[in-house]
């Protein structure tokens, strides 16, 4: 198993094998090679297999929403980005729904306690 470079306090949620896609010539076409996508508790990482020195990271603030979709009849993912663009990718082994769910969890705000802590009463 490869060691994914994580920051202090960051932990790995799951990894997926994905391929970026674009709509060109009235069909979906793969862009580049298949790569690993790692969802952590703080960001979404993309890197070629076995080449961890070239990691691309997406912060949660760059992603608005993620959906599981069908691309060329296969399981895929669509992400709406904060800059108004969309990113599409195939997800291997029918894992698109899990990847979309993990990204949505990454984007969700941290839960707040239902009961406020008691403050000490000043003397």
- How does pLDDT run along the chain (123 residues), one tens digit per residue? 567 888 899 999 999 999 999 999 999 999 989 999 999 999 999 998 766 678 899 999 999 999 999 998 899 999 999 999 999 999 998 899 999 999 999 999 877 777 777 777 776
Is CATH 2.30.29.30 the right assignment for the domain spanning 12-107? yes
Contacts by 106-112, CB closer than 8 A, 24 or more apart: 106/13, 106/39, 106/40, 106/41, 106/42, 106/43, 106/44, 106/60, 106/63, 107/60, 107/63, 107/64, 107/65, 107/66
Distance CA 112, CA 23 (A): 41
Which pLDDT score, from 0 to 100, does residue 54 have?
A: 80
Judge whether 27 and 72 are in contact, CB under 8 Å. yes
Annotated domain spans of the chain: 12-107
Structure tokens at 9: 């306090």
Which pLDDT score, from 0 to 100, does residue 121 have?
A: 74
pTM: 0.84
Which pLDDT score, from 0 to 100, does residue 105 have?
A: 95
Structure tokens at 64: 């608005």
């Amino acid at each position: 198993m490869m060691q994914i470079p994580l920051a202090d306090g960051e932990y790995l949620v799951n990894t997926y094998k994905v391929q970026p896609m674009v709509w060109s010539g009235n069909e979906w076409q793969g862009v580049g090679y298949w790569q690993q996508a790692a969802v952590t508790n703080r960001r979404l990482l993309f890197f070629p297999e076995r080449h961890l020195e070239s990691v691309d990271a997406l912060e949660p603030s760059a992603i608005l929403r993620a959906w599981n979709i069908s691309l060329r009849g296969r399981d895929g993912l669509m992400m709406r980005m904060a800059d108004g663009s969309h990113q599409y990718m195939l997800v291997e082994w029918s894992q698109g729904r899990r990847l979309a769910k993990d990204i949505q969890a990454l984007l969700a705000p941290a839960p707040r306690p239902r009961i406020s802590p008691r403050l000490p009463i000043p003397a």
